[in-house]
Structure 1
Amino acid sequence: MKTLYAHRGMSALAPENTLAAFSLCAEHGLKWVECDVDILADGTIVLCHDDTLDRCTDHSGSLCDFTREDLEDIDAGSWFGDEFIGEKLPTFDQFITLMNILKLNANIEIKACTSSWENTEKLISGVIEGMKNLNKDASVLISCFNPLVLAEFKRRCPDVPVACLFDKEMPEDWFTIMQACKSDTIHVANEGLTKAKVEEFKDLGLEVNVYTVNSLMRANQLFNWGVDGVFTDIGHQFPSRYRNS
């Protein structure tokens, strides 16, 4: 079974990491979504890829300078299109509620807080607490580029599967890092990925997911190499056999 992960939701059709983007996934038959979680100054967990609001909202500044009360004034949709004016930066609790309603599964990427390790620990705690409200039949996969964060999450939630995220230039000790995080799933960059490298991962018994793949031809090639899943912004363009699985 090959898996499509809607990268930050259906981000080619709606502003990334918004409830609108995730709702479109269900409409187009995608069961798995990917989101990024970070923390505000008051401990509220929100969905946002960057540690600032500059790129995807009408505000500027670090997430750690805002609170839940500020969310009402932040527009996370108007930059993308008029039909998304007023779209909010969602909280993690709102996302969990939407997952339950639409019966979605999620790869939740925990961002390593640039502000402090204390905030990172609060973020981990918030994710764990929020996940308690998930439907029992929902599946989640936790990922992070920072192995210290991933290992801490796994220590606190040993039964939840985790995936190690790596940049294009992988460290020589990447497998040792995965073992330390107790991870059987690897998330690797599409750029420069070869069949030989995929075979190396698979020979070690790993589940292999590749980010970010916005070409149907490339996705087909990766799947033929043995890749298990791809992250994509264009899930709506894939054949129905991928979207309805």
Structure 2
Amino acid sequence: MKTLYAHRGMSALAPENTLAAFSLCAEHGLKWVECDVDILADGTIVLCHDDTLDRCTDHSGSLYDFTREDLEDIDAGSWFGDEFIGEKLPTFDQFITLMNILKLNANIEIKACTSSWENTEKLISGVIEGMKNLNKDASVLISCFNPLVLAEFKRRCPDIPVACLFEAEMPTDWLAIMQACQSDTIHVADEGLTKAKVEEFKGLGLEVNVYTVNSLMRANQLFNWGVDGIFTDIGHQFPSRYRQE
């Protein structure tokens, strides 16, 4: 069974990493979503890809300078379209609640918190605590570009699967990194990915997921090569066999 991961929610139809974007996933039959989590100044875990608010909200400045109290004043939807004016930057707890209501599964990407390692550890702790409220039948996969973060998460939660995230130019010791993180799932960039590379990954018994694929033709090619899953912004455009409408 091939898996579609809705990249930051249904981000072609709604502002990324918002409850609106994740709600649309359920409407279009996508059961797996991908989100990014980071931490505010007061320890609140929120969904946000960038470490600044400039790109996807009506505010600017470092994410790490804001607190939960500020969230009510931050508009995370108007940049995308007038119909999303007032959409908020969701907390991780709100996301977990929505997952439970809509019966979603999630790839949770822990951002390599740029403020400090201390805050990164608090972020890991917050994610672990938040997931305790998740429905028992929900599936989660934790990913990160920083192997130190993954290794620390795995140390604390050995039973939860983790995926190593790599840029297009992978380090030569990528397999050793995966082994150190106790990961058997690899997330790789679509850019420059070849059939031979996919076969190498699969030959090692790895689950292979590719980001970010917004071409149906390319997605079909990747699936034919043996890729297990893809991250996409356009999950609503995929054939029904990939969705559960």
TM-score (norm 1): 1.00
Task: Please give the secondary structure, in 2, of the residue aligned with 1:13.
Answer: coil
Q: Output one character per residue of 1:21-80: Cα deviation in whole Å (capped at 9) or x when no partner.
A: 000000000000000000000000000000000000000011110000000000000000
Structure 1 residue 234: deviation in Å? 0.1
Structure 1 residue 244: deviation in Å? 1.5
Q: Output one character per residue of 1:66-99: Cα deviation in whole Å (capped at 9) or x when no partner.
A: 0000000000000000000000000000000000
Task: Please give the secondary structure, in 1, of the residue aligned with 2:115.
Answer: coil
Structure 1 residue 243: deviation in Å? 1.1
Q: Distance in 2 between matches of 1:148 and 1:82?
A: 40
Q: Is there any run of 5+ residues in structure 2 with no aligned partner, and where?
A: none
Q: Distance in 2 between matches of 1:124 and 1:174?
A: 23
Task: Please give the secondary structure, in 1, of the residue aligned with 2:6.
Answer: strand
Query: Over aligned residues, Cα RMSD in angstroms?
Result: 0.6
Q: Distance in 1 between matches of 2:29 and 2:64?
A: 35
Q: How does 1:51-200 map to 2 (within 5 A)?
A: 51-200=51-200
Q: Distance in 1 between matches of 2:188 and 2:22?
A: 23
Q: Output one character per residue of 1:148-172: Cα deviation in whole Å (capped at 9) or x when no partner.
A: 0000000000000000000000000
* Residue number in structure 2 paired with 1:227: 227
Runs of 4+ in structure 1 deviating by more than 4 angstroms, as ranges, are none
Task: Please give the secondary structure, in 2, of the residue aligned with 1:175.
Answer: helix
Structure 1 residue 126: deviation in Å? 0.1
Q: Output one character per residue of 1:152-193: Cα deviation in whole Å (capped at 9) or x when no partner.
A: 000000000000000000000000000000000000000110
TM-score (norm 2): 1.00
Q: Output one character per residue of 1:114-171: Cα deviation in whole Å (capped at 9) or x when no partner.
A: 0000000000000000000000000000000000000000000000000000000000
Task: Please give the secondary structure, in 2, of the residue aligned with 1:114.
Answer: coil
Q: Output one character per residue of 1:194-229: Cα deviation in whole Å (capped at 9) or x when no partner.
A: 000000000000000000000000000000000000
Task: Please give the secondary structure, in 2, of the residue aligned with 1:200.
Answer: helix
Q: Distance in 2 between matches of 1:79 and 1:143?
A: 27
Task: Please give the secondary structure, in 2, of the residue aligned with 1:37.
Answer: strand
Q: Distance in 1 between matches of 2:134 and 2:60?
A: 32
Q: Output one character per residue of 1:99-122: Cα deviation in whole Å (capped at 9) or x when no partner.
A: 000000000000011000000000
Q: How does 1:33-48 map to 2 (within 5 A)?
A: 33-48=33-48
Aligned residue pairs total 245
Q: Distance in 1 between matches of 2:206 and 2:113?
A: 28
